[in-house]
Amino acid sequence: MEKFKSIIRDYPFIAFIIAFVILAFVPSVVFTDVYQSHLATLIFVNIVVAAGLNIVKGYCGQVTVGHVGLFAVGSYTAGTLFLYLGLGFWATLPIAIIVTAFFGVAMGIPSFRLEGPYLALATLGGGEAIRLFIENGNFFRSTFGISDIPTPSLMGYNFDSPDRYYFISMTIMIIAVYFSFSILRSGVGRAFMSIREDPICAAAAGINVKKYKILAFILSAMFAGAAGAVYAHMPPGYIHPNNYTVIEMVTFLAMVVLGGLGHIWGGIIGAIVITIVYDLTRPLYKYQLLIFGLTIVLTILFMPKGLGGFIDRYFLEKRFKKKTGTEKTT
């Protein structure tokens, strides 16, 4: 066991390969109908977005409410590339990631001068502007949405149903989570956290604050772009501007906050919980926003570090007690 642990520590991707193999068997073993595969794909898409949002908001502390706009950019880059050039998933995915990265730069520039609620307002405007631009642009098929976006195929095998597309979304999710894990565990993650805590002190400690802020925005935009492209190609391959409203943004925020801002697994835990709750409460759709708003408020009040921080705290206190023989509580 010790040896296994040290191997995982040196080569963390092995853990991700194991996770991949386990998740690959889930549809055939656990799922009873196609809808569950569809739900799983939605969870994976949300995990990718939330992992990205956790980088910029949880780690770097930049309050962005325009992230759903970046998600829309990813989706509509994929959609329009198919619509006008007939490109398939394997071409649209990387292009969507790159295009969204540029939008991330634009979204990040206000953060040089604005912070806290003011930055939130600026990015909210940015996100809404993107949605309205799409909604009013004939180029993007405005409110008709883009339909029949094809599912990817690989070596003659077409991932054309939810239970097949599951593997595509899962692969992207695992890769994205692995990247976010590596970035945040390294010195880059620490630099992000220092900027969140105190930008002036971070600068005095040798951290290029502007560079790292923009880097955080670019990275999280790339995650959102990837998620957007995966979402666009998901069967039945239909995207509509209404899928990218502030309401979606609130659910993304609820994921990150509930999972734990600045916790390495925060966005992931939150995305799983919130997506499932969202689905179960579909009959109560009138109250869904209320529920998520309350979730955010209550989590911030009673569990400021979210579920992830809560679990961490439990183990930390145990370890501290074992080491020093004293209680340490706050």
Partner 1 sequence: MILKTKQLSKSFGGLKAINKVDFELPKNEIRGIIGPNGSGKSTFFNLVSGIYDSDPGSYIEFDGHDITFTPPHEIASYGLSRTFQLLRLYQDMTVIDNVMSGYHTRVPYKFFDAVIGRKKIWDQERAIKEEMMELLTFVGLADYAELNASELSGGQRRLLVLARAIAMKPKLLMLDEPAAGLSPVNVDNLMKIIMQLKEKYGLTLIIIEHILKVVMDTCNSVTVFDHGQKIAEGTPAQVKDDNAVIEAYLGKKMDDEEMRKALAV
Binding mask 261-280 for partner 1 (x = CB under 8 A): -x------------------
SS3 assignment, position 239: strand
SS (H, E, C) 101-165: HHHHHHHHHHHHCCCCHHHHHHHHHHHHHHHHHHHCCHHHCHHHCECCCCCCEECCEECCCHHHH
d(CA 133, CA 286): 27
Rounded least distance, CB 185 to partner 1, Å: 7
Instruction: Enter the tokens of residue 229.
Output: 């492209």
d(CA 227, CA 47): 9
DSSP state of 327: -
Q: Which is nearer to partner 1, 56 or 250 (CB)?
A: 56
Q: Which is nearer to partner 1, 66 or 259 (CB)?
A: 259
Rounded least distance, CB 21 to partner 1, Å: 19
Residue numbers 2-41 binding partner 1 by CB under 8 A:
9-13
Rounded least distance, CB 71 to partner 1, Å: 21
Q: Which is nearer to partner 1, 21 or 200 (CB)?
A: 200
β-bridge partners, 158: 153
Q: Which is nearer to partner 1, 82 or 212 (CB)?
A: 212
Q: Which of 17, 18, 154, 316 binds partner 1 (CB under 8 A)?
A: 316
The reply to whether 310 sits near partner 1 by the rule CB under 8 A is no
Rounded least distance, CB 202 to partner 1, Å: 8
Q: Phi/psi at 66 (nearest 5 deg)?
A: -105, 15
CA neighbor of 100 nearest in space, from 151, 158, 56: 56
* Stretch of 34-42, 68-76, 208-216, 288-296 lying at the interface with partner 1 (CB under 8 A): 208-216
CA neighbor of 87 nearest in space, from 229, 244, 226, 243: 229
Binding mask 210-249 for partner 1 (x = CB under 8 A): -----x----------------------------------
d(CA 44, CA 10): 26
Distance of CA 290 to CAs 256, 259, 272, 287, 307, Å?
Answer: 17, 18, 19, 5, 20
Instruction: Enter the tokens of residue 255.
Output: 């994921």
Binding mask 167-206 for partner 1 (x = CB under 8 A): -----------xx-xxx-xxxx-xx-xx-xxx-xxxxxxx
Q: Which is nearer to partner 1, 31 or 320 (CB)?
A: 320
Q: Which is nearer to partner 1, 58 or 235 (CB)?
A: 58
Identity at 224, one-letter amino acid code? A
Q: Which is nearer to partner 1, 146 or 184 (CB)?
A: 184
d(CA 250, CA 239): 19
Rounded least distance, CB 196 to partner 1, Å: 8
SS3 assignment, position 206: coil
Q: Which is nearer to partner 1, 28 or 324 (CB)?
A: 324
Rounded least distance, CB 13 to partner 1, Å: 7
Rounded least distance, CB 210 to partner 1, Å: 9
Which positions touch partner 1 (CB under 8 A)? Answer: 9-13, 178-179, 181-183, 185-188, 190-191, 193-194, 196-198, 200-209, 215, 262, 316, 319-320, 323-324, 328, 330
